[in-house]
Structure 1
């Protein structure tokens, strides 16, 4: 997993989300010059909320496996995207949302999530 290829890697691994990603990219004028925190915050977090709301299990499983791989990545920039962009925004959505997300998280993502939740107490 490479930081500068993170979004493109996710798009390749979850082609079902292509149309959603394109809509959000256009809506927020996202392009290749935007950093991973911006892209994940404005495209991927809304995508997570969308697939959970619509119970798209195949996409949910792929997405949360991707997040688990981010959680175990040795590149601190990648774990920072997970922690400070994805998980913080999901926690900030409220108790019900993060609890719903947790049921799909792997053990390492759950550990990261627990650390982030401490800041919201």
Structure 2
């Protein structure tokens, strides 16, 4: 599960990778530098609208995914094919389809 600190660190990494200062990002988003610093440091309780504004300014998307899929993304890349196959097998065994319920499901 992503914590606010992990999200903030990812946003800081994206900002720095784009060569933006906190002041420049503040100007792009209309958010104060204090708010951005708190978000990047995982402090406080950031509003979703704040996170979305920063993502938009950095040309990032915010994606909601099943935990098992998100865990695959953050895990060891060498294990992903095996883990993905196991996840798909469990999904099939449970009678679930990746795009919704099976036609014969109640």
TM-score over 0.5 for the pair: no
TM-score, normalization by structure 2: 0.35
Structure whose alpha-carbon radius of gyration is higher = 2
Report the structure, 1 or 2, having the larger helix content.
1
TM-score, normalization by structure 1: 0.32
Q: Which has the higher contact order (CA 8 A, sep 6+)?
A: 1
